[in-house]
């Protein structure tokens, strides 16, 4: 219990004579305010607010000076949820210089929790500012490194997260440190190294965090049964005292159940996740997908509209769009598509690239988006996105090569199977295409309606090709017999 705060710490941090930041930040803020004016609608829902008012308020806050980290993390925090109250409570402690270092660290993790709860990545930035404050108090402290690493990971700066994780592992090697390392490696497609990190993590401390990560690893390796068992263990270790975590692992379990052809169980798990956390967007998204797969398009629209409202990302918009098309609600679809087209390239380029390729609107942009993503996040799904973009642009040969990279881990995923089918077929690998088709047809419910339609078309093509081949073969055989 460190009761004596380092009283000088706060004063040092909040003083406004930090020349290092002053000038560039002033310029940056001016630029950003202009940029915000034009781009704010592409930020999160909560950030879509009138900028005329913002400018004035912002001026009040920054008072023409660079905001320093301590001022930012102590900005009045609204909200009525438990996390909101906790954030305000810890801000109060910091203002009173109570347990300052620990309180800042705690506040940082509360901002991470808030980001997860609200799907508002702006809170990661506040968490990052907390890491800056920790660094100011104790340069290169492990607490600050872990917090910053978690922020970088969530902002998809995986290489940066890996660097910090390696530093932490060398410095102290706690289970969290290995977890962060494994996560950053996993996202970069370095599964073998990630497995080593996760093994160390679970050897030190088996718990929800470790079980959930190992479940995900097994799922990526195509072992859905083991993934389900492990995620069930994570669910057992969850608690309503940490509702977002409980909802998260329960929704992941639901996803595996859905993939395993058990939509009823999956829906039950979604219901449980929503008990933990009301209006939990990922659970609503999955529930919408289950409804859509059951042909209940209008019901799906209701659920998906809510999930998209809570988390307006391409993943959510695309599924909602499909549900609206299925329900024949084309007018509503127009505005959703407009949102998707406007924000997709910046908020989730990989999914947007997939969407473009699937919806027949593929162009150079979809390839560029996937390629850019690949430079940062070389996992199987980014390889798949690039392969699909290449195929959609008529480059079947390169698409086939890229698709092999997407399939290398054996991931059990309907969309991967669908893409593999089409790409193998288009690149002249008929036997492979037929094999992937069989896999894709095991549970076509995993695909969106438009994907199912395309799969059906390629199934017909493969069937006709097979029929054609059979006819040719039988004619050849007959000729051969006649010659004999």
Partner 1 sequence: MKTKVSRLTNTLVTLLIAIISTPVFASSHMDAPLIVLDPAANTTDVYAFVQQINGVKTLVTALGVYPFEEPGIGPNKYNFDDNVLYAIHVSIGKDVAAGLPTYSYEFQFKTTYKNTKTILQSYLGVIQDIGDSAQNLTQTYTVTKIDHHKNKSTLLGTGIVPPNNQGIATPYYNQGTNGNNPAIDGVATSDQLDRYTSEAITNFPSGYVAFAGQRDDGFYGDIEAIFDLLQLRSPGKDSQAGFNIHEMSLGIPISELGGDQQVVGVYATTSRRQVVVRDDGQKGTVTYGPYVQVARQGNPLFNEGLVAIEDKDLYSRTSPSQDKKLFSKYALTPELAHLLNAIVFAPNSVAPETNRTDIEGIFIPDLIKVDLSTGPCRLAGGGTNDVANPDDSGFSRLGIFGGDTLTSTVQAGFGNGTVPGGWPNGRRFGDDVITIAVTALSSDLRVSPPIIHGPYGDNVDSNDVAYNKVFPYESTPHNGRNFTHE
- Site residues for partner 1, window 146-165 (CB under 8 A)? 146, 150, 153-157
Between CA 343 and CA 348 the distance in angstroms is: 8
Q: Show the tokens assigned to 372.
A: 């850019």
CB of 1 to partner 1, least distance (A): 7
Out of 28, 30, 334, 479, name the contact with partner 1 by CB under 8 A. 28
Q: What distance in Å separates the CA atoms of residue 159 and residue 190, rounded to the nearest whole number?
A: 12
Identify residues 359-398 at the interface with partner 1 (CB under 8 A).
Answer: none
Q: Is 249 a residue that touches partner 1 (CB under 8 A)?
A: yes
Q: Is 76 or 139 the residue whose CB approaches partner 1 more closely?
A: 76
CA nearest neighbour of 55 among 34, 28, 71 = 34
Which of 199, 260, 393, 450: binder of partner 1 (CB under 8 A)? 199
Closest to partner 1 by CB, 85 vs 467, is 85
What are the residues whose beta carbons fall under 8 Å from the beta carbon of 309, sequence distance 6 or more?
A: 45
406 sits near partner 1 (criterion: CB under 8 A): no
Q: Given candidates 183, 306, 409, 432, which one binds partner 1 under the rule CB under 8 A?
A: 183
Which region, judged by CB under 8 A, interacts with partner 1, from 194-202, 363-371, 437-445, 469-477?
A: 194-202
Token pair in block for residue 377:
């996040």
Buried b (16+ CB within 10 A) or exposed e, 4-33: ebeeebbeebeeeeeeeeeeebeeebeeee
| Binding pattern for the stretch 307-346 against partner 1, x by CB under 8 A and - elsewhere | ------xxx------------------------------x
Q: Per rule CB under 8 A, is residue 225 in the interface with partner 1?
A: yes
CA distances to 40, 161, 245, 278, 418 from 117, in Å = 21, 21, 9, 10, 33
Residue 118 and residue 156 in contact, taking contact as beta carbons nearer than 8 Å: no
Among 6, 167, 173, 206, binds partner 1 (CB under 8 A): 206
Tokens of 471: 């006819």
Instruction: Quote the least distance from Cβ 55 to partner 1, whole Å.
Output: 9
Q: Which of residues 56-85 bind partner 1 (CB under 8 A)?
A: 57-58, 61, 67, 72, 75-79
CB of 32 to partner 1, least distance (A): 5
For partner 1, the closer of residues 237 and 461 by Cβ is 237
Residue whose entry in the numeric block shows the structure tokens 């930020």: 43
Site for partner 1 in 250-269 (CB under 8 A): 268
Closest CA to 466 of 474, 456, 455, 454: 474
- Is residue 179 involved in binding partner 1 (CB under 8 A)? yes
Contact between residue 45 and residue 137 where contact means Cβ atoms under 8 Å apart: no
Kindly state whether residue 442 participates in binding partner 1, applying the rule CB under 8 A: no
């Amino acid at each position: 219990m460190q009761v004596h705060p380092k009283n000088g710490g706060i004063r040092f941090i909040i003083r406004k004579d930090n020349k290092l930041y002053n000038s560039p930040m002033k310029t940056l803020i001016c630029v950003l305010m202009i940029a915000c004016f034009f781009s704010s609608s592409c930020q999160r829902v909560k950030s879509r607010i009138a900028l005329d008012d913002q400018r004035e308020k912002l001026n009040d806050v920054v008072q023409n000076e660079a905001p320093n980290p301590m001022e930012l993390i102590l900005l009045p925090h609204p909200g009525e949820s438990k996390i909101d109250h906790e954030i305000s409570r810890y801000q109060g402690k910091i203002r009173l210089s109570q347990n300052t270092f620990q309180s800042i660290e705690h506040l940082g993790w509360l901002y991470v929790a808030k980001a997860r709860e609200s799907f508002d990545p702006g809170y990661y930035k506040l968490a990052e500012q907390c890491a800056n404050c920790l660094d100011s108090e104790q340069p290169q402290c492990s607490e600050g490194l872990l917090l910053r690493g978690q922020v970088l990971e969530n902002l998809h700066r995986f290489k940066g997260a890996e660097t910090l994780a390696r530093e932490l592992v060398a410095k102290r090697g706690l289970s969290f440190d290995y977890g962060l390392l494994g996560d950053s490696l996993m996202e970069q497609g370095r599964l073998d190294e990630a497995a080593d990190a996760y093994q160390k993590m679970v050897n030190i401390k088996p718990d929800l965090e470790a079980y959930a990560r190992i479940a995900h690893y097994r799922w990526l390796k195509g072992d859905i049964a083991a993934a389900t068992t492990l995620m069930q263990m994570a669910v057992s270790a969850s608690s309503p005292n940490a509702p977002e975590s409980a909802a998260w692992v329960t929704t992941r379990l639901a996803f595996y159940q859905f993939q395993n052809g058990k939509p009823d169980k999956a829906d039950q798990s979604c219901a449980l996740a929503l008990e933990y956390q009301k209006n939990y967007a990922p659970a609503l998204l999955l529930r919408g997908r289950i409804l859509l797969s059951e042909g209940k398009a209008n019901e799906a629209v209701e659920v998906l509209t809510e999930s998209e409202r809570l988390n307006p990302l391409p993943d959510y918009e695309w599924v909602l769009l499909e549900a609206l098309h299925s329900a024949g609600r084309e007018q509503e679809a127009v505005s959703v598509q407009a949102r998707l087209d406007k924000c997709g390239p910046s908020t989730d380029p990989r999914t947007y690239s997939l969407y473009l390729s699937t919806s027949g609107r593929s162009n150079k942009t979809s390839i560029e988006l996937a390629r850019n993503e690949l430079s940062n996040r070389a996992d199987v799904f980014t390889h798949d996105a690039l392969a699909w973009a290449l195929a959609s642009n008529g480059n079947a040969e390169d698409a086939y090569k890229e698709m092999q990279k997407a399939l290398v881990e054996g991931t059990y995923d309907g969309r991967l199977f669908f893409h593999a089918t089409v790409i193998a077929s288009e690149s002249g690998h008929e036997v492979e295409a037929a094999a992937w088709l069989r896999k894709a047809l095991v549970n076509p419910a995993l695909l969106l309606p438009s994907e199912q339609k395309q799969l059906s078309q390629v199934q017909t093509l493969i069937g006709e090709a097979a029929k054609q081949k059979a006819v040719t073969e039988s004619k050849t055989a007959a000729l051969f017999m006649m010659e004999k």
